[in-house]
Amino acid sequence: MSHHISLESFDTDGAVREAAESAGANRRDFLRKGAVAGGGFVAGGVLFNGLMSPAEAAISTRSRSKKNDVKILNYALTLEYLESAFYTAALANKVSGGDAALARFTEVVQAHEAAHVKGLKAALGSSAVKSPTFDFGAAVTDVATYRATAQALEDTGVSAYAGQGPNLFQRPVVQVALSIHSVEARHAAWVRYLNGAVPAPATYDRARSEKAVLKIVTGTKFIQ
């Protein structure tokens, strides 16, 4: 049985639809192309449910399709689950150490990541994967560890979205991914500035594959 993802449910303020229309797609085309055939899927005999190990990476880099778009959106959703939970825990623990600028960053970014989770879940509907359980340890209690972890997570998130761009099949999904990618890049620059690092350290940003990102994320041991 197939399910359909309504990208219009994600595009609540019309920004994605407006961008699509400016690129030559009318409202009818957007709604028709915005329905992504989905449903459950299995890769290597393992149901994609949250982040898998690098060896079990499921996204195809050779064949773009609606089904592959669902995998990419679920991959993005799981990364957003991670970031949302991280900043929520940081807020709860008041880990800013009295630094008002860092506290403001945490508050704003937590709201962004929570909204990304909500939007992606709405877009995926019944095809959305569930959130894993996380334990961030000192990363959300010690201010120095928090700063370093936030920078690493944001840099990884930007590279993850960039890595999936060439694998996307449908224009509305590209618009959704780009709308999040640019915000994640702003987060990365912001926390780098707060940490005293160069906000834009390279002429070209590195795009990471699914396997590379999974290796980094699973290596943190945050996912229980």
6-57 pLDDT, tens digit each:
444 444 445 444 444 433 444 454 444 443 333 322 222 222 344 555 545 5
Domain ranges for the chain, please list them.
4-49+58-219
pTM: 0.76
Among 1.20.1260.10, 3.30.70.330, 3.40.640.10, 1.20.120.160, what is the CATH number of 4-49+58-219? 1.20.1260.10
| CB distance 163 to 209 below 8 Å | yes
- Give residue-wise pLDDT tens across range 177-210: 999 999 999 999 999 999 999 999 999 998 999 9
